[in-house]
Structure 1
Amino acid sequence: MVKLISLLKRAEGLSREDFRTWILEEHVAFARKLPGLRKYTVNVAVAEDAPYDAVNEMWFDDDEARAAAFASDDGKAAGADAGAHTSSRVHVLTTEHEFI
């Protein structure tokens, strides 16, 4: 299992509240359609001066499943939606090691 962590900075001119509404109510509909997505979490920043406004976590069976998901029409639509609402996105592919 691999986890894709995405650090998201809201688009210029998008308020914190509008970003929060978008990521928790609108963008999640795209994630629900991604083939092979096993788990999806959204973490919205609390501090106003945080370097990113949200951190998303997406679990896939392997990197091939992740690549196939984002190559699909639904994956391309999700990427376009994220691009329209963010000024910066950083993606880190990881393997999770849980200790507590």
Structure 2
Amino acid sequence: MTITVITLLKRREGMSREDFRAYYESNHKLIGEKVLGPYATRYVRRYIAPIDGVDEGHDYDVVMEIDFPGEAEVEAFFADIADPETAERIATDEAKLFDRSRIRAFRLEREERSDL
């Protein structure tokens, strides 16, 4: 059973969308790949662009999706990133990129329709 965790992330104040995406893809993503490597089967970043082009203060900038093969891998991953050294490395880099007060994570629960 695949378990998907999504995280909504907002760039830090004063950072352009272009700089945000460039830093995420060339720096922060590498930390994610390293810590997720032993546990996740998929790590995707989906950048959000408002359809009307209006960048409101309440909007998020990226949806991060992580798939895990099972509950054991989810638990092991969260235990690993709770290690003080790992948590500090992540937090230090996040501060360069995100408004950390706005980070929201969710576990997706899936129901599928069979009539489509």
State TM-score, norm by structure 2.
Answer: 0.70
Taking a change above 3 Å as real, the CA distance of residues 91 and 17 of structure 1, as seen in their structure-2 partners, is same
Structure 2: gaps (5+ residues)? none
Report the Cα distance in structure 1 between the residues aligned to 2:110 and 2:80, rounded to whole angstroms: 20
The corresponding residue for 2:78 is 67
2:22 alignment partner in structure 1: 21
Cα separation, partners in 2 of 1:97 and 1:23, compared to 1, 3 Å:
farther
Identity, in percent, stands at: 29
Unaligned runs of 5+ in 1: none
Query: Alpha-carbon deviations, 1:11-67, whole Å to 9, x = none?
Result: 011111100101222111011111312210000112242611111011223231331
The answer to which structure has the higher strand fraction is 1
Corresponding position of 2:103? 89
TM-score, with length taken from structure 1: 0.79
Q: Secondary structure at the match of 1:57?
A: strand
Further displaced range: 67-76 or 13-22: 67-76
Work out the number of aligned pairs and report it: 100
Aligned CA RMSD, in angstroms, stands at 2.4
Larger Cα Rg: Structure 1 or Structure 2? 2
Is 1:44 aligned to residue 55 of structure 2?
no
**Structure 1 residues 76, 38: CA separation in 2 closer, same or farther (over 3 Å shift)?**
farther
Counterparts in 2 of 1:21 and 1:98: CA distance versus 1, 3 Å: farther
Which consecutive segments of 4 or more residues in structure 1 shift more than 6 A? none
